[in-house]
Structure 1
Amino acid sequence: MYKWSLKQFDFKSVSRLTTGNQIPEFLAKLLVIRGIDTPDKVERFFNGTMEDLHDPFLMKGMEAAVTRIVEALDRKEKIIIYGDYDVDGISAIVILKQFLTEAGGDVTYTLPNRFKDGYGVKVDKLIEERKQFPFRLLITVDCGIKAVEEVNALTEMGVDVIITDHHEPDKELPDKAVAILNPKVPGSGFEHEPLAGVGVVFKLVQALSQRTSLTETLDFALKIVSIGTVADLVPLLSENRILVKEGLKAIQKTSTRGLEAMLESCNIDRESIASVDISYKIAPRINALGRLGDATNAIEMFTTNTETDAREYAKYMNRKNAERQRLEKTLESMVMNQIEQEDMENTRFLLLSGTDWHKGVIGIVASKVQKKHYRPVGIVSIEDDMAFGSIRSIEGINIIDVLENFESLLSSYGGHQQAAGITLKRDNLQALKEGVNEYLFQHFPEELFTPKIEIDCEVEFSLIDDVFYEQLKKVEPFGIGNPQPVFMVKDVIIETEPELINGRHIKFEASDGLHRFEVIGYNKVHLDERIQKFESADLVFSVEKVKWNRRMYFQLNLVDLRRR
């Protein structure tokens, strides 16, 4: 059972926004809850444009980075881009490669294989690349901030390195790099901007365009940065909000061959694309390539000029995504069987393991189990005497801080508050499981392990109409830091028996006597027993406008339900 929590807001701030600003009360509440509590902030939130982006040269290291890249372009030096294999890293490679190519650069890229190389800068891989492509300048994207030894080694080989990253730095930085671009580095000048890795690269391209007069390439970069930013789950506020909002607008107007093929393969209408399409359709397909080994096809798709090639790359991505889904379903079944053997009342940390579980999908399955059982979850693949795992935590528990107490059991670990990767000896698995479980019992209160639904505000069915929806759309794009608004309505009547869809979803109709809506509960089949025709209930939901058989209507996407 979920705990329902109605978000609190400052009434004076709501009143300040509604008075003389033509902002309805429900919208004012949504804005104030999100920290948009003055008319000036509202103006920036609703109407921020590219002109409101900060000068990229305010970022520490930008001048040095741009100077070295322009020098490499002028001298016709070979440049290699090294990125991560997720959507953020792939998007960053695409943007930078496209810009440098159009600037006349002799440029290529490489990225690690999840299984052969692992995450981060790999010197051995770059040495092999250099035999075929003798580069003088290496630019990392979405990685490299912790690559102190690697940068030292590359520098000794005569390679200049520029680091672009957004991950948390260690105390020691790769200071032998020509430049470090990372908002999280102290004194970066961008500490207030939670940019994704692709966002940092966009700032670099923005700066380069000012020096090279290649401003037309920013339109392409803007489209791609919106995809990487949404996919990397960074807060969609401030610059990130502008980049995503303007990027989606750019995609709606015109597209590239690669983007068009991607949208077509995902059944996305280009003219109405939204952040949710990136989260649930585009990002999983791109990520599937990296999860299963080689993500280069995504880069080639976005940069090709050939329609036939673009479609083939998109079809290949669809096939890989289907393969990823099959692997995920198989692993999820094995994990759920293990959970049945667990003493859940005395378990606050689930650590589940198996021999040769597919490392490309353990993170997704860990997320699913975490959401279902609401506690930190680790899924581990055992290979010989070593174990490789992915952990997903819950709100209020910084899993990295927890793991610091068990460093002696771990060969390596890293990540951020809610997600971590671990490597350890197989023999240490049980000790880690018991140790973390005991630590969570000792240091965290029981109520933290009760899942909570955050409700933005209470509404009446009579409020939900075209005017309401147009106001609601002003808050888009939705994502981390600006989630899709969740509403509550009390004491409505269940008008129909719940209909089961595909064995996982439920559908019914509800009304207040005058206004009637279709309610869909995606993956909410467990709520079926709570829904009785002609009984009254309280609903928690989000609002969507859907088109079906040439008819437009409002659909309430069910979050939870309580019988009265």
Structure 2
Amino acid sequence: MRWNLKPKPDSEKVKSLQNSLSVDELTATLLVQRGIETFEEARQFFRPKLEDLHDPYLMKDMDKAVARIEKAIKQQENILVFGDYDVDGTTAVSLVSSYLRTYYPNVDTYIPDRYDEGYGVSFKGIDYAEDNGITLIIALDCGIKSIDHVAYATEKGIDFIICDHHRPGNSLPEAVAILDPKRDDCTYPYDELCGCGIGFKLLQALAQNRNQTIQDLVPYLDLVATAIGADIVPMTGENRILAKFGLEVINVDPRPGFKAITQNLKKKQLTISDVVFIIAPRINAAGRIKHGNYAVQLLTEFGIEEAEAFAKEIEIFNANRKDLDKQITLQALTQIIDNQEENRFSTVVYQEDWHKGVIGIVASRLIETYYRPTLVFTKSGDKLAASARSVKDFDVYNALEACSEYLLQFGGHMYAAGLTLEETQFENFKNQFEKVVSETIAEELRTPEILIDAEIDLIDINEKFIRILKQFEPFGPMNMTPIFLTKDLIDTGYAKKIGSDEEHLRLFVKQENSEGFGAIGFKMGNKFDIAKERQLFDAVYSIEENEFNGNVSLQLRLRDIKGKE
């Protein structure tokens, strides 16, 4: 594990912010590291307001989208809200359809089948629209590259409004309106919204058109916050505002679907991390194991008993997903060892009966053991399909592009991608991918990195600092949980391996002249010897609140520990 301390930001900027906010140097340093350099930027960071959201009509084509929807309502047309089977897609469909239904009944939803139709707008979905007399499709979290699909719909007299956040190709579909801040000709001030976020901007515009205020849309923000967390978009600007207020809805007055998922949790306050690791996987499990429709039904159900019934079904899907994920990961690890591939630059594994819905998760799991670009293949019809995952700072999409002669199709981004190929090309591709990775990956990228915000002493962790640190939430990309380094720690005799397999590490650490803190290191049981017998060691960690039996205490969430040389 590489430990890298972030460079100290400009001292004049830190000092200036320190004076204007009346905070300590450490707090000012953490803020400047996040690009917050002025009093007003700090005000927006610590005290975000819904009024800080941009005017939705600044987004290219928003006026056209609103006009077409209002025309559909006036003429009693049937509207189809279409979105993908992942968390961003299903929350976006739930968001837009449930809002429209508050004043217009002729609204249907459609989620494509992961296995039958695949990702994005599908011809089958358009045929469904035609069969049901639908003349307007609102596509969410997809559609920006669906040129042929939109043309197919146009032939059938069906209009498209596209709400997407992915980067467009060289040309755009001939849709009535395309809402996507990543369009070259769109000057919208913030281009990091997720698909559900774009859907919310559409709602904001529709609400303005109907003399509603932003307060009328607050109950929908639980969906938006969930999508922002799950889609790993930057936790900055509008995303941070929407996530913060969405979390409040989840904690104070969630929709029945969320209540049904979280009612047995012992935690009183859910964080964005809880949303990502508890709520999102269950929503995702529907599309992975059965069908994304189950997620939409859960999220749009307003009867608590009915919502609980959907939640129970989804809980079963999630349990199946966990079992499959564990089983396939073990099989893949065995395959790597049997093939003597532990020391390669890449991981490429294949078994024809692996479940297509979990191969992406398995790829991420394999990186925990073998830290390198990873592809997991399974049989899909008469072809092979794979999910690719990468390590920090290595562009797996570019690596796939260098192997494209062996591929039928591929798509994705720097850290995650999907691809298909003919089975006869598997070995050729595997060899070429290994060659490309071995020639292009920098040596340091083959070891996981922990990026440290600041070096501190335990004495720096006081009530005031924790109070301010809590206001840095919600955390996410571009505003990650601060990671600290503290040197010369000693365990006070409580070092213990915990968990059924003794794979976790629990400590109670002190530094000279400081009070002690409980510390937990997940999957760090193998580091036990470093901390035992009153030896000095260094640690990198984040600070969190631990809630147990109704009691809340501070603890250090260890990321790594190292003995003194």
**CA–CA distance in 2 between the matches of 1:346 and 1:522?**
25
TM-score norm. by structure 2 comes to 0.96
**CA–CA distance in 2 between the matches of 1:275 and 1:257?**
19
Instruction: Give the drift of 1:251.
Output: 2.9
The alignment partner of 1:44 has SS state of helix
Instruction: Report what 2:126 is aligned to.
Output: 126
The alignment partner of 2:335 has SS state of helix
Letter in 2 for 1:469: I
Query: CA-to-partner distance for each residue in 1:151-193, whole Å, 9 max, x for gaps?
Result: 001001000111111112111210x210001111112123642
More displaced, 186-195 or 10-19?
186-195
- Once the two structures are superposed, the pairs formed by residues 87-126 of structure 1 within 5 Å of their partners are 87-126=87-126
Are residues 422 and 526 of structure 1, via their aligned partners in 2, closer, same or farther at CA, if it must alter by over 3 Å?
Answer: farther
The alignment partner of 2:351 has SS state of strand
Are residues 126 and 329 of structure 1, via their aligned partners in 2, closer, same or farther at CA, if it must alter by over 3 Å?
Answer: same
More displaced, 152-161 or 259-268?
259-268
- Once the two structures are superposed, the pairs formed by residues 255-266 of structure 1 within 5 Å of their partners are 255-266=254-265
**CA–CA distance in 2 between the matches of 1:267 and 1:183?**
40
Is 2:213 the partner of 1:190?
no
**CA–CA distance in 1 between the matches of 2:115 and 2:29?**
47
Are residues 268 and 510 of structure 1, via their aligned partners in 2, closer, same or farther at CA, if it must alter by over 3 Å?
Answer: closer
More displaced, 143-152 or 211-220?
211-220
- Once the two structures are superposed, the pairs formed by residues 267-306 of structure 1 within 5 Å of their partners are 267-269=266-268, 272-306=269-303
Is 2:227 the partner of 1:228?
yes
Q: Is this contact kept in 2: 1:266–1:281, CA < 8 A?
A: no
Q: Is this contact kept in 2: 1:77–1:106, CA < 8 A?
A: yes
Q: Is this contact kept in 1: 2:290–2:317, CA < 8 A?
A: no
Letter in 1 for 2:32: V
**CA–CA distance in 2 between the matches of 1:550 and 1:346?**
47
- Once the two structures are superposed, the pairs formed by residues 346-357 of structure 1 within 5 Å of their partners are 347-357=344-354
Are residues 73 and 383 of structure 1, via their aligned partners in 2, closer, same or farther at CA, if it must alter by over 3 Å?
Answer: closer
Instruction: Report what 2:153 is aligned to.
Output: 154
Are residues 82 and 440 of structure 1, via their aligned partners in 2, closer, same or farther at CA, if it must alter by over 3 Å?
Answer: same
Instruction: Give the drift of 1:364.
Output: 0.6
Q: Is this contact kept in 2: 1:139–1:164, CA < 8 A?
A: yes
Instruction: Give the drift of 1:344.
Output: 5.3
Instruction: Report what 2:524 is aligned to.
Output: 524
**CA–CA distance in 2 between the matches of 1:526 and 1:103?**
59
Instruction: Give the drift of 1:97.
Output: 0.4
Instruction: Give the drift of 1:257.
Output: 2.2
**CA–CA distance in 1 between the matches of 2:177 and 2:267?**
39
**CA–CA distance in 1 between the matches of 2:341 and 2:527?**
21
Instruction: Report what 2:249 is aligned to.
Output: 250
- How well do the aligned residues superpose, as a CA RMSD in angstroms? 1.7
**CA–CA distance in 2 between the matches of 1:203 and 1:93?**
13
More displaced, 57-66 or 426-435?
426-435
Query: CA-to-partner distance for each residue in 1:14-34, whole Å, 9 max, x for gaps?
Result: 111111422222211111111
Query: CA-to-partner distance for each residue in 1:473-498, whole Å, 9 max, x for gaps?
Result: 11100011211111111001122232
The alignment partner of 2:402 has SS state of helix
Letter in 2 for 1:172: S
Instruction: Report what 1:501 is aligned to.
Output: 499
Are residues 7 and 91 of structure 1, via their aligned partners in 2, closer, same or farther at CA, if it must alter by over 3 Å?
Answer: farther
Structure 1 unaligned residues grouped into runs of 5+: none
Instruction: Report what 1:205 is aligned to.
Output: 203
Q: Is this contact kept in 1: 2:490–2:531, CA < 8 A?
A: no
Instruction: Report what 1:378 is aligned to.
Output: 375
**CA–CA distance in 1 between the matches of 2:340 and 2:421?**
24
**CA–CA distance in 2 between the matches of 1:371 and 1:406?**
25
**CA–CA distance in 1 between the matches of 2:395 and 2:299?**
36
TM-score norm. by structure 1 comes to 0.96
Instruction: Give the drift of 1:318.
Output: 1.4
**CA–CA distance in 1 between the matches of 2:528 and 2:212?**
57
Instruction: Report what 2:389 is aligned to.
Output: 392
The alignment partner of 2:388 has SS state of strand
- Once the two structures are superposed, the pairs formed by residues 331-350 of structure 1 within 5 Å of their partners are 331-341=328-338, 347-350=344-347
More displaced, 381-390 or 409-418?
381-390
Instruction: Give the drift of 1:128.
Output: 3.2
Instruction: Give the drift of 1:437.
Output: 1.6
Instruction: Report what 2:535 is aligned to.
Output: 535
- Once the two structures are superposed, the pairs formed by residues 14-33 of structure 1 within 5 Å of their partners are 14-33=14-33
Structure 2 unaligned residues grouped into runs of 5+: none
| Aligned length in residues | 560
Instruction: Report what 1:330 is aligned to.
Output: 327
Q: Is this contact kept in 1: 2:364–2:389, CA < 8 A?
A: yes
Are residues 139 and 384 of structure 1, via their aligned partners in 2, closer, same or farther at CA, if it must alter by over 3 Å?
Answer: closer
Instruction: Report what 1:165 is aligned to.
Output: 164
Q: Percent identity?
A: 35
Instruction: Report what 2:12 is aligned to.
Output: 12
